[in-house]
Amino acid sequence: MSEDAVQGESATALDPDEEKRVVEEESLNAATTHEVIRRQGRKELERTAAALAWSGIAAGLSMGLSLVAQAVISAAMPDSPHRAIVTSFGYSAGFLAVILGSQQLFTENTLTPIVPFMTERTPAMFGKVLKLWGVVLLANLVGGLLFSEAIAHAQFLAPAARDAADAIARESLEPSSRDLFIRAIGSGWMIALMVWMLPAAGGATPFVVVVMTWLVSAAGLPHVVVGSIELFYLAARDLTSLPAGVIHYLLPVLAGNLLGGTTLVAALNHAQVATDSRAATK
């Protein structure tokens, strides 16, 4: 029996449910992911500024859970070489709340609105991207500021957890601005890559979020929203200067996250899909 005949016999042996699963698995390619994200991005770009702002404030509040969870875990852990690795799992708490709660987080938006912009590069579309970025980033910072003030002044954390939060936040601000910028490119890339992976994740979405965000924390890569909460928290407790922190930490991390998210994921992944499309039309 020829090889083609064997392959044909194997294909006809599949029942309808098995054939459906094969088709679904084949459809999970770069072009499909690109289209899913493009449509998501279009929807986000059409939302009103008020809707984006409320969702962004909610995300800023939710991201405060990352600092709280890390502080609680760290306070309960003995002093050991593995302490930071285990504590980093708490970093995922805020991201899980934001993603599963469908809230607007700035670093996710370094990917989703860029994909439709790459397919429709017009001044109007670029203006929508800038509006979305500006509203969501500002709203995230406002939500983060509110959360930071609350945990700094309202005895929200037990004394041991508060001390751990102090140490975690201080450690985040220790690197030089140059190092923060370079590391932030990595975290921007990883968060955008995580968003790119989610359409294919299905029921494994929480697992993907935990693994990717744990790695960001364990590798010491700064994130502009989580980092802003740590900065606001230290400033609220009079442990650092807010203006100096904005210049030393917030601006370099913002620039790095933008570069990592837009260039290394959105542009490159769009490029592979566009190249495949051009090749198919020849």
Within a 10 A sphere around the Cβ of 7, how many other Cβ atoms? Answer: 10
Average pLDDT, the chain: 85
Q: Report the pLDDT value the prediction gives residue 271, as an integer from 0 to 100.
A: 64
What lies within 8 Å, CB to CB, of 41 at 6+ separation is 111, 112, 113, 114, 115, 116, 117
Listed range (100-104, 128-132, 155-159) with the worst mean pLDDT: 155-159
Return the pLDDT at 116: 83
Asked if 150 and 67 touch (Cβ cutoff 8 Å), the reply is: no
Q: Name the pLDDT band for 9 (thresholds 50, 70, 90).
A: very low
Question: Other CB atoms closer than 10 Å to residue 198's CB: what's the count?
Answer: 19
Per-residue pLDDT at 273: 60
Does residue 4 register a pLDDT over 60? no
Alpha-carbon gap, residue 174 to 193, rounded angstroms: 26
Mean per-residue pLDDT, 190-203: 87
Q: Which stretch of 4-13, 105-114, 212-221 has the lowest confidence by average pLDDT?
A: 4-13
CB 184 within 8 A of CB 256: yes
Q: Per-residue pLDDT for 218 more than 90?
A: yes
